[in-house]
Amino acid sequence: MLVALLSAFLGGLILNLMPCVFPVISLKIMGLVRHGDEHPGQLRAEGLAFFAGVMAAMLALSGALIAARAGGAAVGWGFQLQSPLVIAVLALVMLGAGLNLAGLFEFGLAIQKIGQTGGKRSGPLGAALTGVLAIVVATPCSGPFMAGALGYALVQPPLAALGIFAALGLGFAAPFTLISFVPALARRLPKPGAWMGTVKAVMAFPMFGAAAWLTWVLAQQAGNDGLLVLLSSFVALGFAAWLYGVGQKRRMMGQGFGGFYGAAGAVAALIALAILRPAGGIPVHAEASPALADAAPTAWSPEKVAALRKQGKPILIDFSASWCLTCQVNEKTTLSTAEVKTALARTGTAYMVADSTKFDAKIQDAMAAYGRDSLPLTVLYPADGKEPVILPQVLSRSLLVDALNKASGKA
């Protein structure tokens, strides 16, 4: 248990560096810079609020995960991202945040809470909401130390499991909270100034990138029909943001109809969300597009694995999902390369992909049998029938080729 707690804490620290967290982390840094010259008590309040937001979101998500598994559902870390509706709402949040940062409108209590550049405080509520969003967008990622800790957590009693997830959240929140409580660290940050207006606009583009990535994920889950629904919502949300911004400018200039534009913008934003209604919006049962067409792997099934093991063939299984960024990096940099394809053919290794882009109970059960509950997971069965080898979460071509040679007896 102590090892699991420590692993979860270290995994949370490292999670700050994972690519799916970058858009929100960049906003956390901007928030620190903006408040670096404030009274220490105010800075500590922001740090505590962010910590509270992270922990509340982590415990809520992990509690829902544990409850679902106790009820018989085979779900794992990042389970909410197997829902096209959740993906679509997150994409809208990222797009709205980007439009806010780009200056199309100002929203004082926006989730990212970047606020004005003149030093006006955003308040603890904004910091807490930033913590919530950071945890939600962090769930597609799993890094070193996390996989084993989470796999262990989900075979423990609920209170022990919640303790491990809490340690993960503690590690994730620690850097931001530590800086807010150590004035010497805060003083090393750049001083707020007019330059932050430019940086604020630049920070819009990571948010747009996150929205684009989530759009691609949804296309894998829901096909062209789902993509059309989401893009229609983007247009409605963009129109809403423009109307809201026009209303704000008119009110600031003392002109009439500012309230009208604000109300019209709110209605357009509601329309953007209404387009996603489950009854007529995202088709959750649409077929996913092939994620690894150029590598042409075989779709995973436990029956195929059992049959190939009887034949004495080495088997490489890639547990992956389109919403898992580390999985996609592994696929692009290692699994789909000519060097690895050649090694697969030379060693006679059967290559399978277990795609968790959409929920599949068999895949979750299989991952649990390996003592893992988060992606990516790469498993290699040796030809001699020995126990499978779980490869590191971040793959390299040389590591994988060496492992294939050993598994086939051709090392």
336: Cα separation from own chain's centroid: 23
Each residue's pLDDT, cut to its tens digit, for the chain (411 residues) gives 888 899 889 888 887 777 666 666 666 666 666 655 556 777 788 888 889 999 998 998 888 888 877 777 666 666 677 778 888 888 888 888 888 878 887 754 333 333 333 334 456 787 888 888 888 777 666 656 676 777 777 778 888 888 988 998 899 888 888 888 886 776 666 666 676 677 778 878 888 888 898 898 888 888 887 888 888 889 888 888 888 888 777 776 666 555 666 576 667 667 766 766 543 445 444 444 443 333 468 999 999 999 999 999 999 999 999 888 888 889 988 998 989 999 999 999 999 999 998 888 899 889 989 988 888 899 999 999 899 999 998 899 999 999 999 998 876
Residue with tokens 């690519």: 19
Q: How big is the CA angle at 330 (ends 327 and 332), to the nearest 5 degrees? A: 110
- C-alpha dist (Å) from residue 407 to 47, 301, 322, 382, 399: 49, 20, 27, 4, 12
CA distance 297 to 330: 14
Q: Which residue type does 173 have?
A: A
Number of H-type helices and E-type strands within the chain:
16, 5
Residues with Cβ within 8 Å of 348's Cβ and at least 6 positions away in sequence, in order, are 313, 314, 383, 408
Residues with Cβ within 8 Å of 397's Cβ and at least 6 positions away in sequence, in order, are 333, 334, 337, 339, 340
Q: What torsion, rounded to 10 degrees, do the Cα atoms 157, 150, 145, 58 define? A: -100
> Domain boundaries in the chain?
2-91+105-207, 298-408
In CATH terms, the superfamily for domain 298-408 is Glutaredoxin (3.40.30.10)
Smallest Cα–Cα separation from 328: which of 403, 225, 220? 220
CA distance 389 to 381: 6
Rg (CA), the chain: 23
